[in-house]
Amino acid sequence: MSEKRELLTSTALGMCCSRRQLLRGALLAALAPSLGALLSACGSGAAVPTPTVAAPAATPTPPAATPTPAAAASPTVAATPTGQAAAGEPVRIGVLLPYSGVYTALGENITRGLELYLEEIGYQAGGRTIEVYKEDDAANPEVGLTKARQLVERDRVHLLAGIVHSGVATALRDFVDSQQIPLVIANAGAAPLTRDPAQRSPYIFRVSFANGQYEWPLGPYAHDSLGYARVAVTAPDYSAGHEKANAFKAAFQKAGGQIVDEVYPPLDTADFGPFLQRLQQAQVDAVWAFFAGADAVRFVQQYNDFGLKDQFPLIGAGDLVDEAYLGQQGDAALDVVTSLHYTPQYDSPENQAFVQRFREKHGQVPNQFAYQGYLCARVIAEALNAVEGQVEDREAFLSALKQVQFTGPTGEFRFHPETQNVVLTVFFRKVERLADGSLGNVVLDKVEGIDDLSF
């Protein structure tokens, strides 16, 4: 792999090595970087894998998916030093993201944003080097929990970051809480993790959103500003889909609107035809939708091909027409109105600089997922700087995370003191053709200070 400071997982070649072999391999990798890609770490708890250092590539190369054993024995948890860090020891961040499956694009873009910020600071914060250990959770809760255990117990990471799928985040909740491992969520919006006092954990922070947090403001906007009185709702049939839809529904109804029908296709639906037929029969002013990744591409294209776009305007959660796949959707996405906490079209100095750096590196504008990855890395770095790199002092590090505050691409970044979830500026956006001929989400309006207890 060509990722900077990226750990080769034990599944890369299916090899096992002793500690002596591992140290010898690390020496060879330092002398001849081209050999580094051939080395793999031992899968036992006794040996600690050695990260390889390579020149960064223009595009992240995701790790191969690792099969999850049905009943794998957990390695012994290595002791975590407290107080002063061992001289020269890096801060190890375990990143869990889907690099395979329906949400692959989301995982890859979060990685790009995270790595962009780490490159800007030279992979150093608080006087210590930062190493990133990546694992593919395949957007699967069982796989995600297994990989989290490997990162904590085998690789001895100091904290975890990433997570796209709400089910994975929920599956990790008790593990990170019991292990006292800080987790900085870069996407998964499972609302109870921050909204429910019984589910909150002092070790869980979220830089992205809680499901419903940027959906509910579109309810009154759709009714009062867009003039829609009757709306049908559709979203994938899993926790995040229902949480997002419920937030919009409640807000739309509170504003005086009526929800005429609700349609929930399975996640990773290839043919939306039967569900579109049902929507076609509804007598509505518009259809609100939430889909993401490959589902979003297929839904928006099929909604247009089925002729519904000419009947009912399409509105929804910003994931529906994210820049990650807006080019794939093409003209089918034109005029779709959504609510989201990010758009590369927002005009601020910080956002312009972020867009320029991302475009220079990847040849395209950033999307919400790259933005969330960028925030995730910066929040971690800010906290490390505040504690002078002493991530082992968990209480001090958690306190530093709670107090992180800076001006980012969309304005002030801060956590809600009670929920440890980000406070958002929510943009109302419309897909339009830009001056260069590409498509983009142009800002119609915005609301500020939206926290996850607002709805």
Q: What is the CATH classification number for the domain harbouring 307?
A: 3.40.50.2300
pLDDT tens for each residue of 373-393: 999 999 999 999 999 999 999
176 and 145 in a common domain: yes
In percent, the amount of the chain with pLDDT more than 90 equals: 78
Q: What is the pLDDT of residue 48?
A: 32
Q: What is the pLDDT of residue 375?
A: 98
Number of domains in the chain: 2
Residue 97 lies in domain? 58-65+86-210+361-414
Cα–Cα distance, 260 to 230 (Å, whole number)? 6
- Residue 318 belongs to a domain: yes
116 and 146 in a common domain: yes
Helix or strand run (H / E) with residue 149: helix 141-149
Higher pLDDT among residues 66 and 304, named by residue? 304
Higher pLDDT among residues 48 and 157, named by residue? 157
173 and 202 in a common domain: yes
- Residue 39 belongs to a domain: no
Q: What is the DSSP string of 357-386?
A: HHHHHHSS---HHHHHHHHHHHHHHHHHHH
Mean pLDDT computed over 180-200: 96
- Residue 442 belongs to a domain: yes
The whole-model pTM stands at 0.79
Which tokens belong to 362?
């990847």
pLDDT interval class at 78 (50, 70, 90): very low
Q: What is the pLDDT of residue 38?
A: 29
- Residue 446 belongs to a domain: yes
Which tokens belong to 4?
């900077």
437 and 409 in a common domain: no
- Residue 292 belongs to a domain: yes
**Three-state secondary structure call for residue 154:** helix
pLDDT interval class at 68 (50, 70, 90): very low
436 and 297 in a common domain: yes
Name the average pLDDT for the chain. Answer: 85
In the predicted structure, residue 354 carries a pLDDT above the cut 70:
yes
Local structure of residue 1 (DSSP, 8 states): -
171 and 119 in a common domain: yes
